[in-house]
Amino acid sequence: MRFPFIPSFNADLTALTTLITSLMLTLPLPLSAQPLPPELFLPPFPELGRTTSAGVAASAAPRPAGEAASGLLGRWVTASGNLEVEIAPCGQPQPQPQTLCGTVTRVLGHRSMARDGEMQPVDARPAVGMQILRGLTLAASEDPQASGAPWFGEIYNRENGRTYRCRVHLGTTGGARHDLVVRPYVFTPLFGQTQHWQRAGAELAQQAHPKETP
Three-state SS sequence of 133-152: EEEEEECCCCCCCCCCCCEE
Cα–Cα dist 38/35, whole Å: 9
Contact predicate 195/183, CB 8 Å: yes
CATH code for 67-208? 2.40.128
Q: pLDDT tens digit string along 125-150?
A: 899 999 999 999 987 766 666 667 88
Half-sphere exposure of 120 (CA within 13 A, CB side): 3
- What does each of the 214 residues of the chain score in pLDDT, given as a tens digit? 555 555 555 566 566 666 665 555 454 444 444 443 333 333 333 333 333 333 333 333 444 455 556 788 999 999 989 999 999 999 866 666 689 999 999 999 877 766 555 567 788 889 999 999 999 998 776 666 666 788 999 999 988 899 999 999 988 655 455 789 999 999 888 889 999 999 997 555 554 444 443 3
* Phi/psi of residue 24, nearest 5 degrees: -65, -35
Of 110, 104, 159, the C-alpha closest to 129 is 104
Domain boundaries, the chain: 7-59, 67-208
Phi-psi region of 101 (alpha: psi -120 to 50; beta: other; left: phi over 0): beta
Q: pLDDT tens digit string along 102-112?
A: 999 999 987 77
Cα–Cα dist 113/83, whole Å: 12
